[in-house]
RNA sequence: GACCAUAUAGCUCAGUUGGUUAGAGCGCUACAUUGACAUUGUAGAGGUCAGUGGUUCAAAUCCACUUAUGGUCACCA
């Protein structure tokens, strides 16, 4: 690694404060140029073995619609965390980057820009010119995204980067489409779709969002019936009147009966239909239907084989069926139609407070107008013969539907979803799965690989031989290509590449829970079908990042936290930590600059801890050998280090990253810095231990805070090695219990107790006091630590006896069975002391009484496990002894 | 309407299979400023674990109901 450009680091000592911006770019360059983001290089250099267990993630590709937001930062932080951990553990680790063309979203964005800047539509430009523009936009977005991802410190293998609309992915799409078509899983048919007149495309059910809105609800006389509707403008073609078969009010009317009645544009002939889809409680329990422009009506018409007539065109204007209203936009026509019906005496009443859920396109917000159109669909219920299954419980030669595959792999726990409650949501969706409408009337995306000549249809991977074939102008739903992202970035549809063999199924799909139904379901569907494999073993769903008040971040609220801004301000490590600590899978988290600032402080703390340690290490070296402990504090910190190693590993293993980070921070700050380093100033001569501890915590912290840890590593250990590919510290496989020979808590408590008294009496912290300890069986242990207690509690003199009466003018407290007497001659406030001791005695008495009650309760003694009883007895003994001593002190106040 | 979450200190959250005198960070109060760090240190205040009832020797933890907040799905012309 010597040939690599070395960042311009200061030598020998660290700067006083960690300045992230000074290091981050150089560090990233160092990593990138080392080549270790690529597992091939790791194998070559022995970072991992070729046959090591693999750990692979395909990055959920950000949309090329612009710049990244804080949600992407979470994704980067969490995935990089896992990837760095596994890489250091020696797993064969691959993280594949990519970007998504995001068909509708991107086209819509470019169309808007085009309109804002040039007042032109895509039709003014034509398909080719427009697509050039979109591609240019996408390419610029892509570059920005890559740059941002690198700023976040992501250790992705850029040599394997993919784009959802590149040639390889396009080939995969064409092959998949053909395979599904050949097996009858893709069909072209006239079905009702969600048409967006604004965007001039249909969108899938999942892309439709409903918005509650107050609307007018009209009641009209329709022959002998009163019908209700919120959409009078659709009623021209209505010639069926429907009611529930069990509705007694309309018992005398029979299914199939016809009658003549006066309607908007004159007399019509209507037919009575009985169908259970009608809710007798709603309105009058009678409705007319418009199969061409309503999904419920459509399916009703299908059931009874009724005529369907188009009333509204694709621009939202009324057609010839509307007679005098034809050519008028539906929204303009509505009041006029109502007016006309009123004049004819057919308007019964208007309900002004009707709550209506209007359907809108989640992209662009256009009002959805259902239409019947010829579209391409995936049949999710159709059975096909499985031929390539490697899935447990799915047999080759047997028949399955896509829906059954989706159900099977999650139910059989071959795919784990975290947090588990999202399984319910998954099945809620999958069990009620409808056919998937694939085609979109937009230009940007994978063009449908179907060609037409007259009535002939050809579906294939390449343009058919022979002239006269015209390709379907529509493009495919972006999720069709996205559904194959576990494997298309590793190879293709039908070739077995080395990458596919080595890294598929991928280990984890890490993404936001909001995308579960859009993407996760489709990935499982496409992958199980195309490859006969699960796409990933675990789905880890992160929550959404909200502002400090819990609101979604949005431009209009002006509460957006831009990851790059805050990275610059506080350092990338701080941003990453703030997104990981305090966040749990599937739950939203709140973020504020204050929170990030807190973690910036921690990064600096780690830097300064290292700075101090470095000053006290004779010869910094990379070491994994546990050094010899000479004092109680040494034994204690080494034991705590073992504990924290286990806790962090365990946190990673159970996907509780927040817990791992929190524990590690507590150890680093509250134990190592606040106690051990302070003690080391007194005891001295700790070069070996400090070196070992520093080594270890830098490794443990690296996945969380890659930049500052690598910066320190490079400064301290220098030369050949990158922390990024150091070996993860070995840990035991269970909790390590602390025993007395490594327990520092008595020492800590005595020191804290003395400090507390000092603070209580408002004694100048610098003033040195005299202390006598009646130590009992703790005498030996305390004597060994006289210097530590004296130093940290700032004592002039410390006398330790096995038993000693409280000297005059002293104030006492009890800690760990020892009585500590602090010399406050001349300043003791006897009343205050009396109260302090009495308060403690009171609460202790209550506590003791509780314990006694518990232990004399027969059912407790009979039922509780032995170890619990033993523990309670010990507690009782302890508190009794303490009580005795406190009572002695109070009676001896002088 | 169906289903799923969440409710613990002023704020953000921990609390693993029921057994702690319920914890952390931020904020707050008081004190401390020349050798790792003021992006700091020391000490402290602050909680009837949403409510009610139940199970149990034992409930923040399990169960039922209630209330509040959020989410997913279904939506009715």
Identify the band that residue A816 occupies on the pLDDT scale cut at 50, 70 and 90.
confident
Give the end-to-end CA distance of chain A in Å, rounded to a whole number: 71
Considering only CA atoms, which of A363, A351, A367, A263 is closest in space to residue A312? A367
Q: Across residues A324-349, what is the average pLDDT?
A: 92
The C1' atom of B54 and the CA atom of A857 lie apart, in whole Å, by 22
Which pLDDT value is given to residue A498? 96
Q: Across residues A640-657, what is the average pLDDT?
A: 93
Which pLDDT value is given to residue A531? 96
Which pLDDT value is given to residue A2? 33
> How many angstroms separate the Cα of A175 from the Cα of each of A168, A182, A380?
11, 10, 18
The pLDDT of residue A609 is above 50: yes
- Given a contact cutoff of 8 angstroms between Cβ atoms, the answer to whether A363 and A477 are in contact is no
The pLDDT of residue A77 is above 70: yes
Name residue, tokens 């004819």.
Answer: A344
Residue A93 has which token pair? 């680790």
The C1' atom of B53 and the CA atom of A663 lie apart, in whole Å, by 38
Query: Which nt has its C1' nearest the CA of A650?
Result: B16
The pLDDT of residue A444 is above 90: yes
Which pLDDT value is given to residue A96? 98
Query: Which nt has its C1' nearest the CA of A848?
Result: B21
Residue nearest to nucleotide B38 (CA to C1'): A601
Judge if pTM exceeds 0.90. Answer: yes
Identify the band that residue A452 occupies on the pLDDT scale cut at 50, 70 and 90.
very high
Do the strands A208-222 and A769-774 form a parallel or antiparallel pair, or are they unpaired?
unpaired
Residue A135 has which token pair? 């591609």
- φ, ψ for residue A384, nearest 5 deg: -135, 165
d(CA A126, CA A123): 5
Which pLDDT value is given to residue A406? 97
The C1' atom of B3 and the CA atom of A98 lie apart, in whole Å, by 35
Residue A412 has which token pair? 């059989």
Residue nearest to nucleotide B57 (CA to C1'): A860
Q: Which nucleotides of B are covered by protein (CB under 7 A)?
A: 3-6, 11-15, 19, 21, 24-27, 30-32, 36-44, 56-58, 70-77
Query: Which nt has its C1' nearest the CA of A752?
Result: B43
Q: Would you list the DSSP string of A707-776?
A: HHHHHHHHHHT-TT--GGGSPPPP--SSPPPP-GGG--HHHHHHHHHHHHHHHHTT--TTS-EEEEEE-G
Identify the band that residue A1 occupies on the pLDDT scale cut at 50, 70 and 90.
very low
d(CA A286, CA A243): 5
Which pLDDT value is given to residue A422? 93
Which pLDDT value is given to residue A237? 77
Triad A779, A781, A787: Cα angle to 5°:
100
The pLDDT of residue A11 is above 50: no
The C1' atom of B55 and the CA atom of A790 lie apart, in whole Å, by 53
The C1' atom of B57 and the CA atom of A860 lie apart, in whole Å, by 4
Residue A464 has which token pair? 């058919």
- Given a contact cutoff of 8 angstroms between Cβ atoms, the answer to whether A580 and A97 are in contact is no
Name residue, tokens 């009702």.
Answer: A192
- pLDDT, tens digit, for every residue of A744-758? 999 999 999 999 999
Identify the band that residue A407 occupies on the pLDDT scale cut at 50, 70 and 90.
very high
Which pLDDT value is given to residue A472? 97
- pLDDT, tens digit, for every residue of A819-852? 999 999 988 888 888 888 998 998 899 899 889 9
Q: What is the CA radius of gyration of chain A?
A: 37
Name residue, tokens 């006239």.
Answer: A190
**Burial of residue A371 (number of CB atoms within 10 Å: 0-12, 13-18, 19+):** buried
The C1' atom of B49 and the CA atom of A658 lie apart, in whole Å, by 22
Query: Which nt has its C1' nearest the CA of A284?
Result: B77
> What number of other Cβ atoms are within 10 A of residue A364's Cβ?
18
The pLDDT of residue A460 is above 90: yes
- pLDDT, tens digit, for every residue of A536-595? 999 999 999 998 888 888 888 888 899 999 999 999 999 999 999 999 999 999 999 999
Three-state SS at A230: coil
Considering only CA atoms, which of A384, A431, A438 is closest in space to residue A407? A431
Q: Across residues A726-736, what is the average pLDDT?
A: 81
The C1' atom of B8 and the CA atom of A687 lie apart, in whole Å, by 43
- Given a contact cutoff of 8 angstroms between Cβ atoms, the answer to whether A831 and A839 are in contact is no
Query: Which nt has its C1' nearest the CA of A865?
Result: B19
The C1' atom of B27 and the CA atom of A598 lie apart, in whole Å, by 12
Residue nearest to nucleotide B11 (CA to C1'): A548
d(CA A812, CA A791): 19
- pLDDT, tens digit, for every residue of A13-62? 688 899 999 999 999 999 999 999 999 999 999 999 999 999 999 999 99
Query: Which nt has its C1' nearest the CA of A588?
Result: B70
The pLDDT of residue A310 is above 80: yes
Percent of chain A clearing pLDDT 90 (strictly above): 75
The C1' atom of B40 and the CA atom of A605 lie apart, in whole Å, by 9
The C1' atom of B23 and the CA atom of A684 lie apart, in whole Å, by 33
Q: Across residues A227-235, what is the average pLDDT?
A: 90
pLDDT mean across residues, chain A: 92
ipTM of the complex as predicted: 0.96
Query: Which nt has its C1' nearest the CA of A846?
Result: B21
Query: Which nt has its C1' nearest the CA of A656?
Result: B16
Residues 6+ apart with CB under 8 A from A287: A227, A228, A229, A241, A242, A243, A278
Do the strands A795-801 and A769-774 form a parallel or antiparallel pair, or are they unpaired?
parallel
**Burial of residue A222 (number of CB atoms within 10 Å: 0-12, 13-18, 19+):** buried
Residue A257 has which token pair? 């009966």
The pLDDT of residue A10 is above 70: no
Residue nearest to nucleotide B58 (CA to C1'): A860
- Given a contact cutoff of 8 angstroms between Cβ atoms, the answer to whether A541 and A587 are in contact is no
Which pLDDT value is given to residue A718? 67
Identify the band that residue A789 occupies on the pLDDT scale cut at 50, 70 and 90.
very high
The pLDDT of residue A5 is above 50: no
d(CA A136, CA A130): 10
The C1' atom of B40 and the CA atom of A620 lie apart, in whole Å, by 26
Percent of chain A clearing pLDDT 70 (strictly above): 97
Beginning with the edge strand found earlier in the chain, give each strand of the sheet holding A266-274 in spatial order: A258-263, A266-274, A240-243, A286-288
d(CA A27, CA A708): 9
Query: Which nt has its C1' nearest the CA of A858?
Result: B57
The pLDDT of residue A381 is above 90: yes
Helix (H) or strand (E) holding A417: strand A416-418
The C1' atom of B69 and the CA atom of A405 lie apart, in whole Å, by 37
Which pLDDT value is given to residue A4? 35
- Given a contact cutoff of 8 angstroms between Cβ atoms, the answer to whether A328 and A317 are in contact is yes
């Amino acid at each position: 690694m010597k040939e690599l450009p070395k960042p311009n680091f200061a030598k020998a000592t660290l700067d006083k404060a960690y300045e992230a911006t000074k290091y981050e770019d150089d560090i990233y360059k160092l990593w990138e140029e080392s080549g270790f983001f690529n597992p091939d290089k790791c194998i070559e250099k022995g970072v991992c073995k070729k046959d090591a267990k693999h750990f692979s993630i395909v990055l959920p590709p950000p949309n090329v619609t612009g710049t990244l937001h804080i949600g992407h930062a979470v994704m980067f932080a969490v995935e990089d965390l896992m990837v760095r951990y596994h890489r250091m553990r020696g797993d064969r680790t691959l993280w594949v980057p990519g970007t998504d063309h995001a068909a509708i979203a991107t086209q819509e964005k470019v169309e808007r820009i085009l309109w804002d800047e040039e007042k032109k539509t895509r039709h003014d430009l034509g398909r080719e010119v427009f697509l050039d523009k979109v591609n240019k936009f996408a390419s610029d977005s892509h570059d920005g995204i890559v740059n941002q991802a690198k700023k976040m410190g992501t250790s992705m293998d850029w040599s394997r980067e993919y784009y959802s609309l590149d040639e390889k992915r396009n080939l995969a799409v064409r092959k998949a489409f053909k395979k599904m078509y050949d097996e009858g899983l893709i069909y072209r048919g006239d079905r009702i779709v969600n048409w967006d007149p604004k965007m001039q495309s249909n969108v899938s059910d999942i892309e439709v969002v409903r918005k509650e809105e107050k609307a007018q609800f009209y009641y009209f006389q329709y022959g002998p019936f009163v019908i209700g509707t919120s959409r009078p403008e659709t009623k021209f073609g209505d010639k069926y009147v429907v009611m529930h078969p069990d509705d007694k009010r309309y018992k005398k009317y029979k299914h199939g009966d016809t009658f003549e009645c006066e309607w908007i544009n004159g007399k019509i002939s209507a037919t009575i239909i009985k169908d259970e889809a009608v809710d007798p409680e709603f309105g009058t329990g009678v409705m007319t239907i418009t199969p061409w422009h309503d999904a419920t009506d459509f399916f009703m018409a299908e059931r009874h084989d009724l005529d369907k007539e188009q009333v509204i065109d694709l621009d939202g204007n009324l057609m010839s069926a509307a007679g005098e209203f034809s050519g008028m936009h539906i929204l303009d026509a509505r009041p006029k139609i109502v007016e006309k019906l009123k004049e004819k005496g057919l308007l019964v009443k208007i309900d002004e407070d009707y709550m209506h859920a209007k359907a809108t396109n989640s992209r662009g917000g256009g009002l959805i107008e259902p239409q019947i159109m010829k579209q391409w669909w995936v049949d999710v219920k159709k059975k096909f013969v499985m031929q390539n299954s490697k899935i447990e419980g799915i047999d080759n030669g047997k028949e399955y539907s896509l829906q059954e595959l989706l159900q099977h792999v999650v139910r059989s726990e071959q795919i784990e979803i975290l947090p588990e409650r999202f399984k319910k949501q998954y099945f809620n969706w999958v069990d009620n799965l409808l056919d998937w409408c694939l085609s979109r009337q937009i230009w940007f995306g994978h063009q449908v690989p179907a060609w037409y000549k007259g009535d002939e249809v050809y579906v294939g991977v390449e343009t058919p031989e022979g002239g006269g074939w015209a390709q379907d102008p529509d493009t495919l739903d972006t999720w069709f290509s996205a559904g194959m992202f576990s494997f298309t970035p590793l190879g293709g549809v039908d070739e077995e590449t080395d990458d596919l063999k080595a890294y598929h199924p991928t280990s984890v799909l890490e993404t936001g829970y909001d995308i579960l139904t859009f993407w996760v379901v489709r990935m499982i569907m496409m992958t199980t079908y195309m490859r006969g494999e699960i796409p990933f073993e675990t789905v880890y769903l992160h929550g959404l990042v909200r502002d400090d008040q819990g609101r979604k971040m949005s431009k209009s609220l002006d509460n957006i936290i831009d990851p790059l801004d805050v990275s610059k301000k506080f350092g990338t490590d701080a941003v990453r930590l703030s997104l990981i600590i305090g966040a749990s899978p599937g739950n939203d988290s709140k973020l504020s600059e204050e929170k990030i600032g807190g973690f910036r402080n921690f990064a600096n703390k780690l830097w300064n801890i290292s700075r101090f340690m470095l000053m006290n290490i004779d010869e910094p070296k990379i070491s994994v050998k546990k050094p010899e402990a000479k004092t109680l504090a040494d034994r204690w910190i080494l034991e705590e280090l073992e504990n924290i190693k286990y806790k962090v590993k365990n946190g990673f293993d159970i996907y509780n990253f927040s817990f791992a980070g929190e524990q590690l921070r507590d150890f680093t700050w509250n134990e190592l810095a606040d106690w051990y380093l302070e003690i080391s100033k007194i005891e001295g001569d700790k070069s070996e231990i400090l070196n070992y501890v520093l080594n270890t915590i830098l490794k443990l912290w690296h996945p969380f805070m890659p930049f500052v840890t690598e910066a320190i590593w490079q400064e301290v250990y220098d030369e050949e090695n990158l922390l990024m590919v150091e070996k993860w510290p070995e840990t035991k496989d269970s909790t390590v219990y602390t025993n007395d020979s490594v327990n520092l808590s008595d020492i800590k408590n005595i020191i804290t107790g003395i400090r507390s008294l000092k603070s209580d009496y408002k004694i100048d912290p610098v003033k040195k006091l005299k202390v006598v300890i009646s130590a009992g069986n703790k005498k030996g242990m305390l004597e060994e630590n006289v210097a530590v207690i004296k130093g940290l509690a700032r004592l002039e003199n410390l006398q330790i006896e096995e038993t000693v009466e409280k000297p005059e003018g002293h104030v006492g407290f009890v800690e760990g069975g020892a009585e500590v007497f602090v010399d406050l001659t001349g300043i003791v406030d006897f009343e205050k002391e009396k109260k302090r001791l009495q308060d403690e005695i009171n609460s202790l008495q209550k506590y003791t009484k509780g314990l006694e009650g518990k232990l004399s309760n027969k059912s407790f003694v009979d039922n509780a496990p032995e170890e619990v009883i033993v523990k309670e007895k010990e507690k009782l003994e302890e508190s009794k002894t303490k009580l005795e001593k406190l009572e002695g002190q109070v009676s001896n106040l002088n």
